[in-house]
Amino acid sequence: MRTVLVDSGGANLGSVRYALERLGVNAEVSGDAAVITAADRVILPGVGAAGPGMARLRELGLVDVLRGLRQPLLGICLGMQLLFEGSDEGDETCLGLLPGRVRRMVGGPGLRVPHMGWNRLEPLRESPLLRGIAPGAQAYFVHGYAVAVDDNCVARSVHGQLLAALVQRGNVAGAQFHPERSGAVGARLLANFLEFGVA
């Protein structure tokens, strides 16, 4: 099975690649449309802001490529946010693979934004991505923007507000947290994604 990491310029590219290597997968990092289209699994990592993230994808000519993928696609952190229709971060138009808009987090008394640290995952519906991940398992988050919980959300978290932690609709999935920094829980999510859609 060929897994490709989209060369989105995110600082977590290397750590996601190493996390996959620990699972026995040698993922290729590429910004080439033909390589990405030929992959069996595609992962869109990302750290930073929506504007530069989308600018990088436009520069590489990958916006329509990602919109047209039929194989499983996993967005991580900013990569997940770019799967949605738009972001309030720079009023950016995103990929539109999932309905909804990314909004700035509100926070609250004693709650820091950006949200940085470990938080519980609360499953909302069944998904192969959650196989072997216990309700209440902890994952590591770093983000100042979030997506509201809707029908595509398979696990939520709370940081002053309910937020989508893991989403999935058809072949498109996204993790707001960093599986590459979330220990055994993150490794299990990545392994589940690699098996996603395999009978």
Which residue of the set 115, 143, 159, 178 is catalytic? 178
Of 40, 120, 128, 46, the residue nearest 87 (C-alpha): 46
Report the relative pairing of strands 172-175 and 92-93 from DSSP bridges. Answer: unpaired
Q: Which of 77, 92, 143, 153 is catalytic?
A: 77
**Neighbour tally for 58: CB within 10 Å:** 11
Instruction: Give the angle subtended at the CA of 79 by the CAs of 118 and 101, to the nearest 5°.
Output: 90
Q: Single out the catalytic residue among 89, 92, 143, 180.
A: 180
- Residue 21: active-site member: no
Active site residue 178: yes
Q: Which of 25, 44, 37 is nearest to 71 (CA)?
A: 37
DSSP string, 35-50: HHHH-SEEEE---S-H
Describe the chain by its helix, strand, coil percentages, rounded to 5. 25, 35, 40
Let me know: does 129 contact 192? Beta carbons within 8 Å. Answer: yes
The yes-or-no answer on residue 180 being catalytic is yes
Q: Which residues are catalytic?
A: 77, 178, 180
